[in-house]
Amino acid sequence: MRRLLVVGAAVALAVLTLLAGLGWHVSGRIYREAILASYDHGPEQYDDALVLAVDSTTITLAPLRNERERLARDGAFGLFWNGGSGRIGAIVRQEGARLVRTFSTVEGTPARGDSVDLRLEAYQGDPRRARGIPFQEIAIETELGPAPAWSVTGTRTTWVLFVHGKGATRRQALRALGVVHSLGFPALVLSYRNDNGAPASPDGRYHYGLTEWRDVESAVRFATQNGAEDVVLVGTSMGGGIVAAFLSKSALAPLVSRAVLDSPMLDFGETIDWGVKHATIPGTTLPMPAIAGGLGKQFATWRYGVDWEALDLRRRIGSVRVPLLLLHGDMDEIVPFTTSQALAARHPDRVTFVSFPGANHAEGWNVDSLRFNESLREFLKLEP
């Protein structure tokens, strides 16, 4: 009996040590890769595909690693390589593992044998260069200092403000900006704390809307001081969470007549759980155990003071009365599609939900720009 007790205690200690180590590891990754704004992800990677041939209108690519499914996804995407970028479109033909797609260059031309990376930035540069839309580079004064923004003029008194996602840039707005501009809306394409060129947050961390909403408030104030009678907020990914936080916290929220949320990260904790579900144990191909998400979040609370309840913005957005256009791809590997699906089901009176079959995170426009643009166009035509 004594021996069994000793063995049982040793096993229990080993399990507890393993779980503690797992929680410590996951919490460290949460901090480094998701919370720490200055985290260095290393040099640019160009490892999605290999260029086999290129001419004035097409490019032939062979997938690297296991990227064939991603490379074969129809639609429009940015193509990047060391020293240049371009845009790929429709699939012309497939020849075994080789794919021939329409191609146009933005900067430079890839050579045969170059490795390239497929990205969401089908439009690159600034509004004038990418879309032929005149704009001004301005600075919006926030509580932390000036933050750069693109300002596009229009004929209406409703302004549209774009809030990009974590790790993205203002270029993310270029996909939808064409529709907004064609309808005559003035637009501001914002940056916010921890963006390149914008002020850093005092603690050097992302807060997933809990502090960033104040920068959106500064932009809304700027818009109203320059002729806006009301505004439409467009938030993508973490930008959707920032919009949700603004709508629930800001005294200026009544100035918002409508909001567009594209693949919105409304619950950071659920997003972590979703990521853990698709992760593997370091150094192996074994799936991460389901318990790792909960352990990692608990350790993140102890180590870094993360308040997961405050980061669940789903309840707050549910109390928002303005009409919402909710756009989400059903193959999203970053933010659970079910989060948006459930929100739309709970509030059918004010949420217009548009799903994009086969689209990964924030890929709705890329895989079906016609449906994305038409959904946005019809929503913006609604009377506030």
Radius of gyration for the alpha carbons in the chain, expressed in angstroms and rounded: 23
Residue type, 210: L
What does the block give as tokens for 147? 């933050």
pLDDT of residue 38: 82
Comparing C-alpha atoms, which of 192, 155, 160 is closest to residue 173?
Answer: 160
Element (H, E) at 116: strand 115-119
pLDDT of residue 277: 79
pLDDT of residue 203: 94
pLDDT of residue 321: 82
pTM attached to this predicted model: 0.92
Give the number of other Cβ atoms within 10 Å of residue 280's Cβ: 10
pLDDT of residue 21: 77
Largest CA distance in the chain: 85
pLDDT in tens, the chain (384 residues): 666 565 555 555 565 666 777 788 888 889 998 999 987 777 888 989 999 999 999 999 999 876 677 788 889 999 999 999 999 999 999 888 889 999 999 999 999 999 999 999 999 999 999 999 999 999 999 999 999 999 999 999 999 999 999 989 999 999 999 999 999 999 999 999 999 999 999 999 999 999 999 999 999 999 999 999 999 999 999 999 999 999 999 999 999 999 999 999 999 999 998 888 777 777 677 677 778 888 888 989 999 999 999 999 887 776 778 999 999 999 999 999 999 999 999 999 999 999 999 999 999 999 999 999 999 999 998 655
pLDDT of residue 11: 55
Comparing C-alpha atoms, which of 259, 288, 201 is closest to residue 384?
Answer: 259
pLDDT of residue 5: 60
For the CA atoms of 173, 218, 253, 345, the dihedral, rounded to the nearest 10 degrees, stands at 30
Give the pairing of strands 58-63 and 49-54: antiparallel
For 192: left if phi > 0, alpha if psi spans -120 to 50, otherwise beta; the answer is beta
What does the block give as tokens for 279? 């992760």
Q: Is 114 helix (H, G, I), strand (E, B) or coil?
A: coil
Element (H, E) at 49: strand 49-54
